[in-house]
Amino acid sequence: MSARRRVVVTGMGMITPVGRDLPSTWDALMRGRSGVGPIQRFDARSYPVTFAAEVDRPNSADPAEFKLDLARVAVKEALAGSGPLPYDPTRIGVCVGSEAARPPLEAIARQLRHNTVATLAEMRRGAPDAPSRVVAELVGAQGPVSTVSTACTSSSQAVGEGALRVRRGEVDAMIVGGVDVLVDPVMVVGFALLGALSTRNDDPLRASRPFDRSRDGFVLGEGAGFLVLEEAEAALARGATPLVELSGFGCSCNAYRITDSPPDGRGAALAMIDALRDAGLRPEDIGYINAHGTSTPMNDASEARGIHTCFGSHRPAVSSTKSMMGHLVAACGAVEAIVTALAIREGRLPPTINLEQPDPDCDLDHVANTARDAQVRHAMTNAFGFGGSNGTLLLSRWEA
């Protein structure tokens, strides 16, 4: 029986509310700097929630085109790191986690007033698969190109599905990741009506507080993160430097409720256990978990119980970078996978800021408020989505 093909990350790129690229984002996370503030995109003073974690853009920018621009920025940085991919274009694939781009309300009103409809090109630009097509064109990928749209788990599953294609030998390289632009009136009102958003309008910087006793909801964010995945031997043969190994992927479904996580955390536990099994590792091998950690009372407690179910008496370090970047929804899995890869490479774990009184229902080894030095060989990153989808990626230090 032939040895399993190993999948390595050779390039990474991102743009987030705390940084325009990978180095600036990492520096901000290490400093514990929050990207949350009053909404700049539109006048939100009369809204139930008036703050978010935004990426700077002109107020006049079309949301669909801005979303594609974010994807381009992150992909170009990832490709600059990996170097040119010398493979047959039919052996290069793309998989992107993405939701549909939402047109601004004024554009909808203008169409209604003038009895006009969007052109086919405009409609396609806002479709969930638009980023996948743009990335394929940018890279020249002629292999399998697909989109995953499973809410908050979208890009985690996109990265995992891409890794499986490389492992099975279907492709030599995959460009994988996610992008989302959520800060608009419809999303702010919609999530607020669900009771999912923090309402700390008087203190935005302290609003996202995963695992804290006083947490009251998540903070909407936006951004993009992309990784270049390659088969290890092919990457080494072309002179590329493996940054980390993508050693395991697990996914599951809660089969519970659309917006609620099961109190016992069973879906989260199943995804983590599946990732460990896929990587051939034991719970005690894991040194760090970049948690989904949204800062909602229900989600954080459910994830903590899932961690206890999976790890038993072992207590890996845990932090949630959503405390600084907000919730990037379809992009969060890929962005947080990159953060986890950097934690392994740099020997430093990013903190959960605003964690002042840990909730007893979230009894974990928290990396609270300041970064922690730690040499980690294997680490996990979790993503759990509305609708009950769960995804866990397991990353390992590259060892030839």
Active-site residue, selected from the candidate residues 95, 251, 310, 327: 327
Do residues 197 and 299 touch, judged by C-beta distance below 8 A?
Answer: no
Burial class (CB in 10 A: 0-12, 13-18, 19+), 258: exposed
Q: What is the pLDDT of residue 143?
A: 98
Active-site residue, selected from the candidate residues 95, 152, 310, 362: 152
Q: Is the pLDDT of residue 334 over 90?
A: yes
> Could you give the CA distance from residue 307 to residue 303 in angstroms, rounded to a whole number?
6
Q: What is the pLDDT of residue 61?
A: 72
Q: What percent of the chain has pLDDT over 90?
A: 84
Name the residue type at position 369: N
Residue positions counted in the chain? 400
Q: What is the pLDDT of residue 123?
A: 58
Radius of gyration of the chain (CA): 20
Tally the domains of the chain.
Answer: 1
- Arithmetic mean of pLDDT, 56-74: 86
**Reported confidence tier of residue 183, pLDDT bands at 50, 70, 90:** very high
Instruction: Assess if residue 338 is contained within a domain.
Output: yes
- Find, among 20, 3, 130, the residue nearest to 76 by Cα: 20
Instruction: Assess if residue 170 is contained within a domain.
Output: yes
292 is catalytic: yes
pTM of the model: 0.94
Q: What is the pLDDT of residue 190?
A: 92
- Find, among 235, 348, 241, 256, the residue nearest to 298 by Cα: 256
- Arithmetic mean of pLDDT, 273-292: 98
- Find, among 236, 227, 245, 384, the residue nearest to 306 by Cα: 384
Q: What is the mean pLDDT of the chain?
A: 93
DSSP for 140-168 reads T--S-EEEE--GGGHHHHHHHHHHHHHHT
366 is catalytic: no
- Arithmetic mean of pLDDT, 78-87: 97
Q: What is the DSSP letter of 122?
A: H
- Find, among 299, 399, 300, 298, the residue nearest to 355 by Cα: 300
CATH number for the domain harbouring residue 345? 3.40.47.10
CA angle (296 as vertex; 295, 302 as ends), nearest 5: 100
CA angle (258 as vertex; 252, 263 as ends), nearest 5: 70
Q: What is the pLDDT of residue 181?
A: 93
327 is catalytic: yes
Instruction: Assess if residue 180 is contained within a domain.
Output: yes
CB-based burial, 88-125: b 16+ in 10 Å, e otherwise: eeebbbbbbbbbebbbbeeeeeeeeeeeeeeeeeeeeb
Q: What is the pLDDT of residue 325?
A: 98
Instruction: Assess if residue 44 is contained within a domain.
Output: yes
Cβ neighbours of residue 200 closer than 8 Å, sequence gap 6 or more:
51, 206, 207, 216
Domain that holds residue 90: 7-397
Q: Is the pLDDT of residue 124 over 70?
A: no
Active-site residue, selected from the candidate residues 251, 292, 310, 366: 292
Q: What is the pLDDT of residue 400?
A: 86
Instruction: Assess if residue 2 is contained within a domain.
Output: no
SS3 content of the chain, % helix, strand, coil (to 5): 40, 25, 40
Sign of the torsion angle spanned by Cα atoms 258, 264, 267, 271? positive
Q: What is the pLDDT of residue 1?
A: 45
Range from 18-22, 57-61, 161-165, 188-192 carrying the lowest mean pLDDT: 57-61
Instruction: Assess if residue 1 is contained within a domain.
Output: no
Give the pLDDT confidence of 340-375 residue by residue, as tens digits: 999 999 999 999 999 999 999 999 999 999 999 999
